Amino acid sequence: MRDRLILLPGWGLGISPLEPLAAALQGLDEHLRVEIEPLPELESSDLEEWLDELDSTLPQDAWLGGWSLGGMLASELAAKRGDRCCGLVTLASNPSFVAHEQWSSGMPGETFDAFLAGCKVDPGITLKRFSLLCTQGAADPRGLSRLLLAGAPLSSPSVLMSGLELLAQLDTRQALQAFRGPQLHLFGGLDGLVPAEAAGDLLTLLPDVEIGLIEQASHAFLLEDPHGVAGAIQAFLHESGDD
């Protein structure tokens, strides 16, 4: 099933940010089946529960990929599946979203804690702030932010909170090192949520995988240039399929 790519979305904004990319990929390769799967709506931040839910619903022996939190979950699921996963593609996915002693290229803990506290008080305002951070560095940040919010699903506050709590604790470095299949990780050079330095730090951790930095791009680079991102992914899939 090397012709099937499953994409997982990021936190809070649903599947619509991935739709232009999926359409661009299909346009480049009619034999590639691209499917966007929504994240589980769990009121738990237990990683194993999330992985069990994804593992039971997503097709086996496919490529796994995702944006931001979706890419982090795809990384963990790829490691869990091992040979039952063709390969991995992540977009603006930091191995650890929140910085800590062993991974400095993340969001400062106090900034994330303020974000978490804000979500408890008013999820709607927090989601709006999040969408603006996603588009910071884009050519038209406000227009892109409105586009992100327009397609966001009406998730319950408890589901939004559990996703944020999961994001706070996730550290995919071990999973990425354990997964032996082909990997492509793309980052945005002007990302307001994932520091561009994460790309270099990940290359140090994983010197044998494909890592790219799109210089003038925000966290939402998949919406800024879906055709360019699709071209990079398609080239990687073809190259990996020829090995």
Active site residues: 68, 191, 219
Q: What are residue 30's phi and psi, to 5 degrees?
A: -65, -15
Alpha helices in the chain (DSSP H): 19-28, 47-57, 69-81, 109-121, 123-135, 141-150, 157-169, 173-178, 197-205, 221-224, 226-241
Specify whether the CB–CB gap between 29 and 37 falls below 8 A: no
Q: CA-CA distance, 64 to 76, in Å (whole number)? A: 10
Backbone angles phi, psi at 113, to 5 degrees: -60, -40
The secondary structure of residue 209, as a DSSP letter, is: S
